[in-house]
Chains A and B, each alone.
Chain A
Amino acid sequence: MLRSTAAVHSRALVLFGLALGLGAIAVLSLMLGSNLISPRVVLAALVDPAQDVGAVVWGSRVPRTALGLLVGFCLGLAGAVMQGQTRNPLADPGIFGVSAGAALAVVIGVYVLGTSSVLTTLWLALAGAIVASVIVFSVAALGSGLSSPVPLAIAGTAVSALLVAFTSFLVLSDETTLAAYRIWVIGSLSGRTLSGVDAALVFAAVGIVFAVANIRSLNALALGTELASGLGENLIRARVVGLAAITLLTASAVAITGPIGFVGLTAPHVARAVIGGDHRWLLPASGLVGSGVLLACDVIGRLVGGTAEVSVGVVLTVVGGVVFIAIVRRARMVTL
């Protein structure tokens, strides 16, 4: 009993540390950017938006920071639920066709409508993501059922490949489409504002609720499907809740920034290394790690690029990839 209380304390401490780190990164994100503004002026503008720099601070840095926090949290959370559901370290949240469906919808939008405005793209991406994941679930449900994660993962990979093939076909046959697609596909926070993202926010909120509701089932599934159902776990309900959480969270993230799969893939591994495999702790930790990583990479991208900033997607994969390798080499990874 004493030992378990100590364990709870140390995990709460880790979680607190992650939140603290995230807060520091958020402050940096407000203070730093391609426009050099002194911290005092930024603070003044935060209090009083009517200041000269208010447009930069409230029009660009605040929404960027807020959306970065949200998208990172969604992806980290979705990744943790995904790996808990599939027990597969290679399963990223995009595996249920969410990213591929969003990409195809966006490309069709540019190809047919000729528009690539942030708002149209957001709606198209949301719609494409949902349609694609419904297809994936139907394929898996028609076959071996949803109780085992393996057919789901394979169906997701196959459907994604199909959608990617159509995307490549459209992109290769039209230069305008390629021009828009090659920017969107990297993933970026630049130019995103808080207006018009309501739909994505609702998706994200519902997704978070589903993820929290799935925690107990995830811990049961960690024991294996047989043991979990032996313990009285309703496997189908556990799957449906988890998959809904993953789809909603990833879809809203993809709609806001474009596909940034890497956060969802790696944040859970990092979180698991610092806080262990219990999903009650792992889920919030993974979300915090996701937020922190995404926001930090966005700040780095703003600074290294100067006026032509480097998109968060590029920084994230390059810096994040290298850092992730370093962590994997040092830490004793907790296997799934």
Chain B
Amino acid sequence: MVIVTLIALVAAIVIALLGIVAGSSSLTIPDAVRTLVGAGTPGQELIVIELRLPRVVAGLLVGAALGIAGALTQTFARNPLATPDILGVTSGASLGAVAAIVLTGGSYSVGAGLLSLGLPLVAVLGALASSAIVYGLAWRGGVDSYRLILIGIGATAALGGITSYLIARAKITDATAAAQWLVGSLSGVSWSSVWPVLVCLVVITPIALQQSTNLELTQLGDEVSTSLGVAVQRHRLVVIVCAVVLTAAAVSASGPVEFVAFVAPQIARRLARVGRPPILAAGLVGAIIVTGGDALARGVLPGQVPVGIITAIIGAPYLIWLLTRRKERETL
């Protein structure tokens, strides 16, 4: 598992460099490295530091945040299908953002203005509010993960219903803007959208890793882990808050690239041949998928394919290939 994590780290760095190089104006990898250490021409510096780097870093951070959040959710829910979405994060963020796009009612330019300024904030508020509501509704002398999942299903459906109603009733230009946001994209990220994600990751990753032992123990069930000295409810709250904050931060930067949170942990645990998703490796796999997908979209494909689409087109077949190749017992 350590080896897999290290290999994933190296791969993430290589792909980040490729991500800096990929794009319309030609750069070589040595150029990119030279510019990064501060020895490039002013022209290269503008392209690398101001245009490419924020996007690549955002991709790495968003992917890592979603991968870690996904690993946490799948483990604590003991369910490989669980993503942070069952906590209401993504559906809340989506409703917030779509409402902001559609209900501002104004012209396309108003929507575009919101996209750069207010949207991330509205999305984060929506995400935090809805996941707090889901957690609160699931509380009955403690939160049990099965009840939390069911409440999450209900909340996700209700919020999603309102979202699609807004889209169906909106003007077609607003509907297009909303659909674009919902797919998730890294175009238009700047350093100001990178910092919040970085801060969240730096603060939360150690907490998540520290909960790792408890996650292992709670696999045995609430009663057993309580008798082993785990404060189950506090542990669960910490894990949920970690997953929610990481997802909300990622969504604020890129929109919902939800599939990463499902696929990265699943790929990571198959590569590492372990029973449950490894947290760090899942984060690294997430970073690779998002950055690699974005680099591919900019460097190889015509037009601007949003990263949300390309991550599914890369991640899904890879997971399918892993599924068909490995003949082993699948549990979680």
Interface of A toward B, CB cutoff 8 Å: 88-91, 95, 139-140, 142-145, 148, 150-151, 153-155, 157-159, 161-162, 164-166, 168-169, 171-172, 175, 178-179, 182-183, 185-186, 262, 265-266, 269, 310-311, 313-318, 320-322, 324-325, 328-329, 333, 335
4 additional A-B pairs beyond A155-B323, A162-B312, A172-B306, beta carbons within 8 Å, are: A182-B179, A266-B153, A318-B161, A324-B154
CB-CB nearest 5 A-B residue pairs: A317-B161, A321-B158, A165-B312, A162-B316, A324-B154
Cβ B323 vs Cβ A139 within 8 A: yes
Interface string of B44-85 (1 = CB under 8 A from A): 000000000000000000000000000000000001111000
Are A88 and B179 also in contact (CB < 8 A) when A142-B324, A143-B324, A329-B140 are? no
Residues of B in contact (CB 8 Å), total: 58
Residues of B within 8 A of A321 (CB): 154-159, 161
Q: How would you classify the secondary structure of chain A's contact residues: helix, strand, loop or mixed?
A: helix
Residues of A within 8 A of B259 (CB): 161, 165
Cβ A333 vs Cβ B150 within 8 A: yes
Cβ B153 vs Cβ A150 within 8 A: no
A249 CA to B121 CA in the complex, in Å? 42
Q: Among A161, A320, A328, point to the contact of B157 (Cβ < 8 A).
A: A320
Residues of A within 8 A of B175 (CB): 178-179, 182
Cβ A90 vs Cβ B149 within 8 A: yes
Are A143 and B183 also in contact (CB < 8 A) when A172-B176, A318-B161, A333-B150 are? no
Query: Which residue of B156, B309, B320 has the most chain A CB atoms within 10 A of its CB atom?
Result: B320
Q: Does B120 contact A (CB under 8 A)?
A: no
Cβ B327 vs Cβ A144 within 8 A: yes
A315 CA to B315 CA in the complex, in Å? 34
Q: Among A142, A150, A158, A269, point to the contact of B150 (Cβ < 8 A).
A: A269
Cβ A328 vs Cβ B161 within 8 A: no
Q: Among A161, A172, A329, point to the contact of B263 (Cβ < 8 A).
A: A161
Residue in A closest to B82 when the chains form the complex, CB atoms: A90
Cβ A165 vs Cβ B316 within 8 A: yes
Residues of A within 8 A of B220 (CB): none
Interface of chain B residues 285 through 332 with chain A (CB within 8 A): 305-306, 308-310, 312-313, 315-317, 319-320, 323-332
Residues of B within 8 A of A91 (CB): 81
A150 CA to B275 CA in the complex, in Å? 13
Interface of chain B residues 114 through 173 with chain A (CB within 8 A): 137, 140, 146-147, 149-151, 153-162, 164-165, 167-168, 172
A sample of 24 inter-chain contacts (CB < 8 A) reads A90-B79, A139-B323, A142-B324, A143-B325, A143-B327, A144-B328, A151-B330, A158-B319, A159-B320, A161-B312, A161-B315, A162-B316, A165-B308, A165-B312, A168-B183, A168-B306, A178-B176, A183-B168, A314-B165, A318-B162, A318-B165, A325-B151, A325-B155, A325-B158
A195 CA to B168 CA in the complex, in Å? 27
Residues of B within 8 A of A328 (CB): 147, 150-151, 154
Q: Among B147, B263, B323, point to the contact of A151 (Cβ < 8 A).
A: B323
Cβ B179 vs Cβ A158 within 8 A: no
Q: Does B266 contact A (CB under 8 A)?
A: yes
Residue in B closest to A167 when the chains form the complex, CB atoms: B309
Query: Which residue of A145, A165, A182 has the most chain B CB atoms within 10 A of its CB atom?
Result: A165
Residue in A closest to B183 when the chains form the complex, CB atoms: A168
Residues of A within 8 A of B319 (CB): 154, 158
A166 CA to B183 CA in the complex, in Å? 11
Query: Which residue of A151, A155, A266 has the most chain B CB atoms within 10 A of its CB atom?
Result: A151
Cβ B325 vs Cβ A161 within 8 A: no
Task: Report B311 CB to chain A, min CB distance, Å.
Answer: 8
Residues of B within 8 A of A139 (CB): 320, 323-324
